[in-house]
Amino acid sequence: MISIRKATFDDIRIIQQIAHTTWYPTFEDILAEEQIQYMLEMMYSRESLNEQIEIKKHNFYLAEENNIALGFISVEFNYQEKSIAKIHKIYLLPSAQGKGIGKLLMQKAEEIAREQKLEKLSLNVNRFNKALNFYENLGYQTVKSEDIDIGNGYLMEDFVLEKSIIY
């Protein structure tokens, strides 16, 4: 049985391991290896994750089976002081994909957003990421595309997707 729990600072190493295991199969056909390495360091160093949790108030949740972490989601509630739950990250180990675990993590984010009476969920996805269909099947709609300069000459070329929360 899959359980979902809020991650703590003690789980940073687990989040890093999942990210490093997942990013290469997810992005190797989309991004150069140098960009993957740059982004992993930028987003998943201990310092970056500490800042995301402590200062930016990102909430990480781990999906586990038999106390083994299979994936995580990161959500910021009241994003930019608006009635939005911003999903910053969701990654599952390749061996855990296609088993409904991603859907459970997305439902967890929506459940908490609903408890907080937020109006919508939002996320960015690389325009060439195969996961786009996953989000669309969950009711997310593309509202715009954006290119985000992340430094070192790299861009994140994303679609912004949103889903209204129905009460």
Other CB atoms within 10 A of residue 108 CB: 18
Q: What is the pLDDT of residue 5?
A: 98
Q: What is the CATH number of the domain that holds 51?
A: 3.40.630.30
128: three-class secondary structure by DSSP: coil
Q: What is the mean pLDDT of residues 24-43?
A: 96
Q: What is the pLDDT of residues 59-68, one digit of tens each?
A: 999 999 999 9
Q: What is the pLDDT of residue 35?
A: 97
Print the domain residue range for 50.
2-164
Say what the pTM is. 0.96
Q: What is the pLDDT of residue 123?
A: 98
- Which alpha helices (DSSP H) does 12-100 contain, by range? 12-27, 33-44, 46-54
Total structural domains within the chain: 1
Structure tokens given for 157: 């070329």
Give the separation between CA 76 and CA 166, rounded to whole angstroms.
Answer: 19
